[in-house]
Amino acid sequence: MNKHGTAEKVKFRKELHIHDDIAFSILSKLCIKSLKRFECVCKSWSLLFDNPNFMTMYGNFFLTKERPSYDHTSLLLYGKFTPSEVSYLDKPFEFYSVSGDRLENRVKLRWPCYNSIDFLHARYDYDIIGSGSVNGILCLRRAFAFYCYVKFFILWNPSTEEYKIVQPSFLDDTSSVSYSGFGNDSSRNDYKVLCLIEEVQGTFTWEIYSLRTDSWRVLDLPLHHISKNCCQQLYMDGLSHWMCESVTHKETYLLSFDWSNEVFITTQIDDNFDFHLVLTHLVLLNGSIALILNLPNTTTFHIFVLGELSVKQSWTKIFILGPVSFPLYPIGVGMSGDMVFRKKDDSRLILFNLTSQTIEELGIQAEGLCKILIHTENLTTTFKGNKSK
């Protein structure tokens, strides 16, 4: 090739070259799954997740990206908020619909079957399964140390105030619920409750309830999972997720249940962490599954986002929170990606802005179990006439 032809080829290559600043701006708008696949394009792209400038850019876009799944949604605040002079055991759980930048607008919601004598006592020790409603439906169960002795579940639509009490007929004085889940089977337009039943002799059985048939049945599923925190179920797009470990305690992973196919899916987690020493919190962060890791007695939180289910390498650390000057416990995530924490020393709630790394007091004090839930309004699902009066 002559010199003229070589010069033209070099010139053509230069014209095709995209400056890193432009390339990084484009890449920062991709999902994690696509970014992981593009790591093999060139060396600078393979090091994107080690580049602090790119990760700042990516984190900002991640938080501001519009999520259609958040349309017609609101936040619910759940916990014990009555005056401090009242003992913890004597305080009922309270439920609020909240809005505003500092959750300053709060409307108290009335519990389902409010006039029922049985439930008036039960609302002092009830928990809500998961981190939000499932198509506008919440599932309630007994909380804390009593959660194993479930007398009934309640499916509740706060938008219509309708509810249904679900009696687990398989339970007796010799059995208990190890952990449970709630989700939607979109292929059958059905809502389901999943329970792992432990008999007193140490045997386990999976049972599943169908709202459509109003019945329970046994599922033939593997039993080699131990939930690290059965209160931290996360539901999204027809699947429920828990942090679990193997019965040998050698592996920690994300366990997902497909409500339509009624099968489990596992996603391994980075081996670099000793999960016996790390506190884990599973949250829904702007439409993505996120895992928060926190070493005990430290005030720094590492937030990993999952790019692709069942792909271990798709866990990506996007945010580092802290260190802060006081110990915190995460209780949920707001609509814009701001995280809500409870201070361990005085139980006050604070808002942590992931973008600016700033903290703001919310003027709310909550004790013990407290949650921020994402709720989608549903005016169509009915429970055949049961309604709070």
Q: Do 111 and 22 belong to one domain?
A: no
Let me know if residue 384 belongs to a domain: no
Going by pLDDT thresholds of 50, 70 and 90, the confidence category of residue 190 is: very high
Looking at per-residue confidence, does 119 or 188 come out higher?
188
Residues 142 and 279 in one domain: yes
- How far from 11 is each of 14, 19, 41, 85, 156, CA to CA, in Å? 5, 15, 21, 78, 67
Higher pLDDT, 341 or 142: 341
| Domain CATH number, residue 363 | 2.120.10.80
> What is the tens place of the pLDDT at every residue in 226-248?
666 656 789 999 999 998 877 76
Distance (Å, whole) CA 326 – CA 347: 11
Whether residue 147 is found in the same domain as residue 249: yes
Pick the last residue of a domain from 63, 83, 115.
Answer: 63
Nearest to 170 by CA among 145, 197, 146: 197
Rg of the chain taking only CA atoms, in angstroms: 24
387 in a domain, yes or no?
Answer: no
The answer as to whether 344 is a domain residue is yes
Last residue of a domain, one of 14, 31, 63: 63
Lowest-confidence segment of 115-119, 203-207, 298-302 by average pLDDT: 115-119
* Res 269 pLDDT > 90: no
Does one domain contain both 34 and 19?
yes
Quick check: is 389 in a domain? no
Give rounded-to-5 percent helix, strand, coil for the chain.
Answer: 20, 40, 40
Domain boundary among 30, 63, 96: 63
Statement to judge: residues 32 and 52 lie in one domain: yes
Same domain, 44 and 106: no
Mean pLDDT for the stretch of residues 348-356: 88
Query: Is residue 211 located within the same domain as residue 294?
Result: yes
In-domain check, residue 386 = no
Q: With bands split at pLDDT 50, 70 and 90, how would you rate the model's confidence at 91?
A: confident
Decide if 295 contacts 277 (C-beta within 8 A): yes
Residues 44 and 77 in one domain: no
222: in domain: yes
Same domain, 264 and 313: yes
Residue 385 lies in a domain: no
Asked whether the predicted pLDDT for residue 12 surpasses 50, the reply is no
Using the predicted structure, report yes or no on whether residue 327 has a pLDDT greater than 50. Answer: yes
Asked if residue 251 and residue 159 are part of one domain, the reply reads yes
Provide the domain count of the chain.
Answer: 2
**Domain co-membership, 50 together with 122:** no
DSSP 78-122: EEE-S-TTS-GGGPPPEEEEEESTTS-EEEEPPPTTTT-HHHHHH
Residue 126 falls within a domain, yes or no? Answer: yes
Residue 355 belongs to domain spanning: 66-376
Average pLDDT over residues 306-322: 90
* Co-location of 76 and 44 in the same domain: no
